[in-house]
Chain A
Amino acid sequence: MKKILMKGNDAVAEAAIQAGCDLYFGYPITPQTEISEYLSLRMPEEGKVFFQAESEIASIYMVYGAAAAGKRVMTSSSGPGISLKQEGISYLASAELPAVIVNMSRGGPGLGNIQPSQSDYFQAVKGGGHGDYKVIVLGPSTVQELVDLTYLAFYLADKYRNPVIILGDGMLGQMMEPVVFNKPDFPPLPAKDWAITGKDGRERQYILCFDLDPRGLEQFNNKIFKKYQKIEQEEIRYEVFGEDKPEMLLVGYGTVARILKSVVREAKDLGIRLALLRPITLYPFPSAIIQKLAQQAGRVFDVEMNMGQMVEDVKLAVNGAVPVHFYGRSGGMIPSVEDTLKRIRDILGK
């Protein structure tokens, strides 16, 4: 299979086309505008729809409509734009509609800046919008994984009739790496017999996002939470990297996990045994494996490009069994291998 050198944003866009994305709606924002630029050229070539809306809000509701019509659809943005889409994401989850949302996140809060950040973790995995709902969140770490998780995102969205967020960052969106486009053979999906298609010979279709009867709404919420339970049982993905019998378990996702792999290697040269647990799915979160490895290692060190967000889920997983340390850089700053290693050595006294 041919390797192509590609920018992360372009790679997501190409993978979306190959995954069968029929429509894309976007609005410019740095550092992800290349996704729009790429799709504006490629979607018409494929006979598919690209449209730049007047705002992020308009684009998420165009996604809502296209998803309700049974098509594969995607939007992308970064931090501030994703905040604007949150209302629509809550409605998509409530209407049980599949859609893929890419966030090449940047420094926040507010307008923040255009440097890479992981400070949208809470927003992505804890709901972001209002109400009881969950969104599947995938955390790629390389340009290749951006491609692979884009295929997966469209599949999972359809499988569970739920929005899926690909949570990258400005670094992954802007970096170039060699990639292979190798679309996996996913198991067949059920027909979208719920879609608003306007065809004759059947009862009219209803797509709703409300139930004014509290008993009915509770029933509905119980139903979607059963679905989330299934997602938590079947869809957890993670990578374990590094040494057996580590003195400390590192936890980090996305861009940070790349840095932590270097930390593991450098530590080995110093005679320090480390292992990295890299969550690939951020929701569902790989709590059980973290709990198991944390207890084996006796100590956890969570590193993020934010003020400490995923560390809360790590602590819930560990449940007080062993100490959990945290190191974070925020505002678009990136933790260095040296600083991270120094902190690890301080904790271990080595």
Chain B
Amino acid sequence: MSPFRNQIEIAWCPGCGNFNLLTDLSEALSELGLKPSQVVLVSGIGQAAKAPHYIQANVFNGLHGRSIPVAFGIQAVNPELTVIAESGDGCMYGEGGNHLIHAIRRNPNITVIVHDNQVYGLTKGQASPTSETDFVSKTQPLGTVSESFHPIALAISQDVSFVARGFTGDKEGLKSIFKQAIQWKGFSLVDVLQPCVTFNRINTFGWYRDRVYPLPEEYDPEDQVSAFKKSLEWGDKIPLGVIYRHVKSVFSDRIFEKLGRKDFLNPTSNYQTVFEDEKPGFE
């Protein structure tokens, strides 16, 4: 068993897609040669947000929708840490959707893992941002009227540094994506198809299994326009793998360049200079 797994009793439904995700992420972390002390897992609120409790690493269980800014703050003061924000589709794309957009823009060196089961689990089955139109739930008895959110297309449209889609029924593929995302220098978003066996009777393991396929060898994840086109593929066929990546300077490096230094931990630095280009104003 991975040294990143602990013995805390798991409070997920039997058969939940989260179990595979937990195992695959723990194994990916240990196979990367990371020590638990080097890793911080930050979560929000929801069934997915319980995951960091079950992983033997530093944990910050924050609040609903805000795991990305918390992860940003942790990484900003200690860029050597491996910082992973982990939560569900409701937390990351609904409550915290605005934070996701601005994190992409800043490109901090963090990994965001989204357990995407297209439904709210913790509050017992309401439509989430990724629920498909007409999805029937306890609070959408006539079917949801909103169109579903497309996180990968959004990320590519904003020239995200790294974005991938995994599936908890594809162990090797998911583990490989986790490893690439965690090693990636810059902001990496991993949307994981993770069936909710209790509240989503549409998007089941079988539903995903019938549709997912790995991106072929010849697929070029570095072409933003073709990656965007690929990101729109959803329905009968759902591509898995790294859909887009773009090497860019990361937030902390850009700050250090301005400061002419290598870390934030030395208290003698003059933080004022970071903001020298910002003119005082009124709001």
Min CB distance, B269 to chain A, in Å?
A: 32
Q: Which candidate, A35-43, A121-129, A227-235, A287-295, is the interface stretch facing chain B?
A: A35-43
| Interface residue? B102 (CB, 8 A) | no
| Interface residue? A296 (CB, 8 A) | no
Q: Is the interface of A mostly helix, strand, loop or mixed?
A: mixed
Once the chains are docked, how many angstroms separate the CA of A50 from the CA of B138? Answer: 12
**A40, B95: Cβ atoms under 8 Å?**
no
Q: Which candidate, B18-26, B139-147, B150-158, B253-261, is the interface stretch facing chain A?
A: B139-147
Once the chains are docked, how many angstroms separate the CA of A96 from the CA of B43? Answer: 38
**B126, A55: Cβ atoms under 8 Å?**
no
Once the chains are docked, how many angstroms separate the CA of A27 from the CA of B120? Answer: 11
Q: Is the interface of B mostly helix, strand, loop or mixed?
A: loop
Once the chains are docked, how many angstroms separate the CA of A41 from the CA of B139? Answer: 7
**A111, B45: Cβ atoms under 8 Å?**
yes
Partner of A37, one of B95, B97, B122, B138: B138
Interface centre among A26, A33, A36, A80 (most CB of B within 10 A): A33
Of residues 223 through 263 on chain B, the ones whose CB sits less than 8 Å from some CB of chain A are none
Once the chains are docked, how many angstroms separate the CA of A29 from the CA of B127? Answer: 13
| Interface residue? A221 (CB, 8 A) | no
Q: How large is the interface on A (under 10, 10 to 19, 20 to 34, 35 or more residues)?
A: 10 to 19
Residue of A nearest to B49 (CB): A111
Residue of B nearest to A83 (CB): B63
**A41, B63: Cβ atoms under 8 Å?**
no
Residues of B within 8 A of A269 (CB): none
| Interface residue? B36 (CB, 8 A) | no
What 0/1 pattern do residues 21 to 37 of A give for CB contact below 8 A with B?
A: 00000111110010011
Once the chains are docked, how many angstroms separate the CA of A28 from the CA of B137? Answer: 12
| Interface residue? A190 (CB, 8 A) | no
**A54, B94: Cβ atoms under 8 Å?**
yes
Residues of B within 8 A of A26 (CB): 139
**B123, A29: Cβ atoms under 8 Å?**
yes
| Interface residue? B65 (CB, 8 A) | yes
Once the chains are docked, how many angstroms separate the CA of A44 from the CA of B142? Answer: 9
**B95, A28: Cβ atoms under 8 Å?**
no
**B97, A54: Cβ atoms under 8 Å?**
yes
Of residues 69 through 108 on chain A, the ones whose CB sits less than 8 Å from some CB of chain B are 80
Once the chains are docked, how many angstroms separate the CA of A331 from the CA of B97? Answer: 30
Residue of B nearest to A44 (CB): B142
| Interface residue? B64 (CB, 8 A) | yes
Query: 5 tightest A-B contacts by CB?
Result: A28-B123, A54-B94, A40-B139, A55-B95, A37-B138
A positions within 8 Å CB-CB of B: 26-30, 33, 36-37, 40-41, 44, 50, 52, 54-56, 80, 110-111
A52-B140, A111-B63 known, 11 other contacts, Cβ within 8 Å: A27-B95, A28-B139, A30-B122, A33-B126, A33-B138, A36-B139, A44-B142, A55-B65, A55-B95, A110-B63, A111-B45
